[in-house]
């Protein structure tokens, strides 16, 4: 077994011990679990809500409140980190779904028009900022599918269940998101 496998196994053991203690009401254990996973949880939520930092912070807190409430029923069939990550994604997705009926978020293809182009000095930084801005400007469902499939590694079946859509719709949204990104960033990929 390699050192990284040892570290990964040790991390899993620590997470499980912290989760078990937290499920029993140990706030200090939950705080330690929060410290270990808050960055990754915040990261996935931030990508899903289009880099709206204050919204992502609120949803991160909400995800951990839900985790605290759900820990007593956690069955340890998956790694604690995986469970927290999925709970965080579902928290952000529920927020996106609830906003569907609310004020319209720019979901047209012209949402990409207002984004600046990179210059030759610092091209890599400009391109990465353009990519982030282009992803952020995608229609919410297309962005969610792109983030969950291409970045988080979810299957179309998992995405379809989480977003309450058909598998074919998940595939179509992914295709749409990629097409919009290619149009904005050029066919250099």
Per CATH, which fold does 1-102 belong to? Answer: Rna Polymerase Sigma Factor; Chain: A (1.10.1740)
CATH class of 114-189: mainly alpha
pLDDT tens per residue, range 158-174: 888 888 889 999 999 99
The size of the chain, in residues, is 189
Split at pLDDT 50, 70, 90, the class of 128 is low
Please determine whether the domains at 1-102 and 114-189 fall in the same fold group of CATH: no
The domain ranges of the chain are 1-102, 114-189
pLDDT for res 25: 94
pLDDT above 90 covers a percentage of the chain that reads 40
pTM: 0.67
pLDDT tens per residue, range 29-46: 999 999 999 999 999 899
> With contact defined as beta carbons under 8 Å apart, do 53 and 96 qualify?
no
pLDDT tens per residue, range 56-113: 999 999 999 999 999 999 998 888 988 998 899 889 888 877 775 433 333 333 333 3
Report residue 118 as tokens: 């990179």
């Amino acid at each position: 077994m390699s050192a990284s496998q040892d570290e990964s196994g040790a991390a899993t053991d620590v997470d499980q011990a912290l989760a078990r203690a937290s499920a029993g009401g140990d706030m200090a254990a939950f705080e330690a679990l929060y410290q270990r996973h808050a960055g990754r949880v915040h990261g996935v939520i931030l990508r899903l809500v289009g880099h709206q930092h204050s919204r992502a912070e609120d949803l991160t807190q909400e995800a951990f409140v839900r985790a605290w409430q759900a820990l007593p029923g956690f069955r340890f069939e998956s790694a604690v980190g995986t469970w927290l990550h999925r709970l965080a994604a579902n928290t952000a997705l529920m927020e996106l779904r609830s906003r569907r009926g609310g004020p319209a978020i720019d979901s047209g293809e012209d949402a990409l028009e207002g984004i600046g182009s990179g210059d030759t000095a610092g091209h890599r930084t400009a391109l990465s900022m353009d990519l982030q801005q282009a992803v952020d400007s995608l229609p919410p469902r297309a962005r969610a599918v792109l983030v969950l499939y291409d970045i988080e590694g979810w299957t179309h079946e998992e995405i379809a269940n989480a977003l309450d859509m058909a598998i074919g719709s998940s595939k179509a949204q992914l295709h749409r998101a990629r097409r919009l990104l290619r149009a904005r960033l050029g066919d250099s990929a």
